[in-house]
Amino acid sequence: MRILFILMLAGSALVAVACRQSTTVPGSSAGMTEGSTGATQTGNTTQTEEGSSMATENKVTKTDEEWRKTLTDEQYRILRKKGTERAFSGDYWNTKMPGAYVCAGCGQELFSSEHKFDSGTGWPSYYQPAMPDHVTTESDRTFGMKRTEVLCSRCGGHLGHVFPDGPEPTGERYCINSAALRFVEQGKDRGPGTEQ
């Protein structure tokens, strides 16, 4: 009787593991949008483990002094000090050419012209990131507002904020500072450090 009970227990444990695997895989590759921090992916599948370990290997960490040397004053103020550029003042709010928007700090691809739309705000706006796991989000309660901050998942640079008033198909509006981005026209070399 006791052996039967142990066998049943082991069986239910296997089912539980299988269920977790089946829900982890799609969750890690799609559907991670606003609100999902994605900072701690602890999936059990090989696919997820590879993904998170690669993300860790690719992390870009620099000292404050190093960032000051490698970034312009405006890039440093926005990416590292969570600043905001003036509306209609940046390089990309009205850019309509096809291409990729990579992180000005580390080169990771963040947004695509395919998802860019004219929000009328004076900041480059996208309804989704190029890859769900290339950005992370954090709650931001500065300036008496409740907003969701958007950061580069590789270097932790501040990019802007995401709001739930965007167009279809996501209904989200990623409001991003031009100075946090570097535009690479379609077909052009993205430069070092821009592998996906």
The 6-35 contact track toward Fe ion, x by CB under 5 A, reads ------------------------------
Residue from 43, 124, 157, 160 touching Fe ion (CB under 5 A): that is 157
Assess 38 for contact with Fe ion (CB under 5 A). Answer: no
Nearest to Fe ion of 24, 130 (CB atom): 130
Alpha-carbon span 98 to 110, nearest angstrom = 14
Alpha-carbon span 111 to 97, nearest angstrom = 13
Assess 159 for contact with Fe ion (CB under 5 A). Answer: no
Alpha-carbon span 127 to 115, nearest angstrom = 6
Report H helices in 30-125: 46-57, 64-70, 73-79
Q: Which of residues 94-113 bind Fe ion (CB under 5 A)?
A: 103, 105-106, 108
Assess 152 for contact with Fe ion (CB under 5 A). Answer: yes
Nearest to Fe ion of 24, 108 (CB atom): 108
Nearest to Fe ion of 90, 157 (CB atom): 157
Assess 182 for contact with Fe ion (CB under 5 A). Answer: no
Alpha-carbon span 158 to 153, nearest angstrom = 10
The secondary structure of residue 144, as a DSSP letter, is: G
Residue from 130, 135, 151, 155 touching Fe ion (CB under 5 A): that is 155
Assess 161 for contact with Fe ion (CB under 5 A). Answer: no
The number of residues that bind Fe ion (CB under 5 A) is 8
Nearest to residue 33, comparing CAs of 147, 135, 165, 155? 135
Nearest to Fe ion of 12, 61 (CB atom): 61
Catalytic residues: 175
Nearest to residue 60, comparing CAs of 174, 195, 190? 195
CB 109 within 8 A of CB 161: no
- Enumerate binding residues for Fe ion (CB under 5 A): 103, 105-106, 108, 152, 154-155, 157
